[in-house]
Amino acid sequence: MAGTTVSRTAHFALHRKDFDAPQAPTTGPESAGPQALFAVRQPWIGALIPKRWAKRAVTRNAIKRQIYIVSLAFELQLPAAAHVVRLRAGFDRARFVSATSAAFKQAVRSELHELFARVAP
């Protein structure tokens, strides 16, 4: 979460942290310099779904699956950096009773498309 917030929607925030390590990472115990956290220079996507906003594990897992599926569509448009999608507000459980319902998946997916579209050129 040390990066900057590059996009927000009602329920999600997208954070980005550029790679700081050198292009050719040094590894092994003899290296004293900085080591690369990510060896491959490409967009990396992570998901942070707190229990505070999604109490049930099935809901958290359904949201994570949607994040990874939608991010594949925008992978070529994102810069080479570490990205974290964070759930910052809960979905209404009275409106979305089941995390596996088509309505819930469509609501999450459309908001994620909006989130990534704001960042993509």
Residue-averaged pLDDT of the chain: 87
- List strand residue ranges (DSSP E) for the chain, in order: 4-8, 12-18, 44-48, 81-87
Contact 70, 107 (CB under 8 A): no
Kindly tell me if the per-residue pLDDT of 22 is higher than 80.
Answer: no
pLDDT value of position 19: 78
pTM of the predicted structure, to 2 decimals: 0.82
For residue 49, pLDDT beyond 60: yes
User: What does each C-alpha distance from 64 to 49, 60, 114 come to in angstroms?
Assistant: 8, 6, 16
